[in-house]
Each structure stands twice: as structure tokens, then as C-alpha cells.
Amino acid sequence: MPISPLLSAYDHVLLDLDGCVSVGNAPAPRAAEALGTLRAAGKRLAFVTNDSRLTPEEHVRRLWSMGLQASLDEVVTAGSAIQFALADRVPRTPVFVIGPPAIARHVSDAGLIVVNGTPRAAEARVVVVAAHERFSYDELATATRAVLGGAEILAAVRDRTYAGADGPLPATGAIVAALEYATGRSARSVGKPEPLPYRVALDRLGPGRALVVGDRLDADLAGAAAAGLDAAIVLTGATTRAQARAARDPAPVAIADTLHALVTA
């Protein structure tokens, strides 16, 4: 299937996952065809997501289970951005992690030491925060002591809520806000709309002109602008056509009903 003139102008395509490539636990309409068209045209792909609950390997398995091909190097999560941000720290720096096992693994892969459950927990030099279902007051208390002792706060994202099966649930931003309030210190966020996830993706992809494709104005469009990249909005997720058309500074370079409609001529 021929690729659209818009996509022909780019070397790389940085794709959001939920709301763009997938919708819930199903692929977006004709998403497999869209990805196939991009690959056949020689475009290099990255899947860039703020979902840090899964490891990149788990995201790859999830995509394949939906019939969507992806490789490990193509997946960049907020956890990947955390790992990238920590890579310049002194090896074996102690880190206290509020977050799922996937985040702790990214910290370890950066060469740092996760000190949860040890006597050194409150002496951590970095506190990493990502929402998880077993978050507890004890975690908040330990993190507070560490930050008041001089630790920096590194947050996966600042999202206030995320969509649960029965409605909105508190997300990472709610935990970050509690820690900032308790300590009077500010966190650094690394997930979209910060530019770091896109820089991680481009570091892997190499030189070339890149287009971001996503469904959210606040994360995908704003994050692309922060990274100095063009962005297109698809309407299979959080944004309506009217909202996308009203977006200014930045404005999307294109608006399409689906990823497939954007990609194909």
C-alpha cells in the first residue's frame, strides 16, 4: 500500500501506544497495516509511551499479542527515560524507588543500587517515583526522609490520574505532589511532555527527520514541540477533531481519524 505524501517526508516515526497504535487491549483500526506500510517504505519506528508499569519486553509481548510487530529497541517508556537520566550518576548510587518492578529494573540497569527494604533506604541519594498499586504511607515516609536528607526526586511523569476499569485513578503526579508538599522540594519529571523520551528514541534511531504521532495534545503534541519535532494527531484516543483543530502554538502538522488514515495515501 503506498505511503502518504506527508509521511514520505520523514525518516523516522515516533508513535504513541495507547490511543494511537492501540485502544485499550485491542489494536487501533488497521494499525497492523499502517505499521507494515511504514516499514515497507523504509521508515524507522519507535513506540514512545508514558506507561512505565511494564518493562519494554512486556510492551513488545503485548504488541505482538495484538498482531503488531515491534522489537525491543523500538520501545521507549518513561522507565527508559528514567534509566537514561540516571546513566550519568556515580555507579552504585543508592536509589529509593516508589514504583513497579519495571522501574526498579531500569534503575539497576543504569548501574545504580535499589535500597528499598534495607537500612540505607532513608539515605538514598535519588528517589524515583512512578505510580503503582501497592503504594503505601511507609514508602512516602521513607522517601520524605531521604529527600529531606538531600536526595533528588526523579518522577516518571506528572499525570494526575489514569483511566481505570471503574473510572479515574490517582497517577504518579498525585504521589509526586504529596512528596513535594511534605519536603518542600521540587521533582524533575522525565516522561512526556518532557522531551527526554523523544531524545532517547532519536538516540537509538540515528540522524533523520522525525514525526511524532499521538492522540494527546498535552503529552504528545506538547512533548514533540519541546523536542523540536513535528507532530500529527490521530482521533482514536483522548482528543476530538475540534480540539485538535483548535490547537495552536504548537499546531499539529496533520489530523487524521486513525493511524492508518494518516499513513496511507
Please state the rounded mean pLDDT for residues 242-253.
94
Looking at domain 82-189, which of 3.40.50.80, 3.30.365.10, 3.40.50.1000, 3.60.70.12 is its CATH number?
A: 3.40.50.1000
Cell of 75: 520501545
SS3 197: helix
Please state the rounded mean pLDDT for residues 105-110.
96
At residue 165, the pLDDT reads 66
Q: What is the H or E stretch that residue 52 is in?
A: none
Query: What pLDDT, in 10s, does the model give residues 187-224?
Result: 999 999 999 999 999 999 999 999 999 999 999 999 99
Give the active site residue among 18, 159, 215, 220. 18
Closest CA to 159 of 96, 222, 213: 222
> What are the residue ranges of CATH 3.40.50.1000 in the chain?
5-50+193-263, 82-189
Q: Check if 203 is active-site.
A: no
Q: Indicate the average pLDDT of the chain.
A: 94
CA–CA gap between residue 33 and residue 2 (Å, rounded)? 11
Query: What pLDDT, in 10s, does the model give residues 38-51?
Result: 999 999 999 999 98
Class of domain 5-50+193-263: alpha beta
Please state the rounded mean pLDDT for residues 77-95.
95
Q: Check if 16 is active-site.
A: yes
At residue 100, the pLDDT reads 94
CA distances from 193 to 50, 78, 168, 218, 235 (A): 9, 11, 20, 7, 19
Give the active site residue among 16, 159, 220, 230. 16
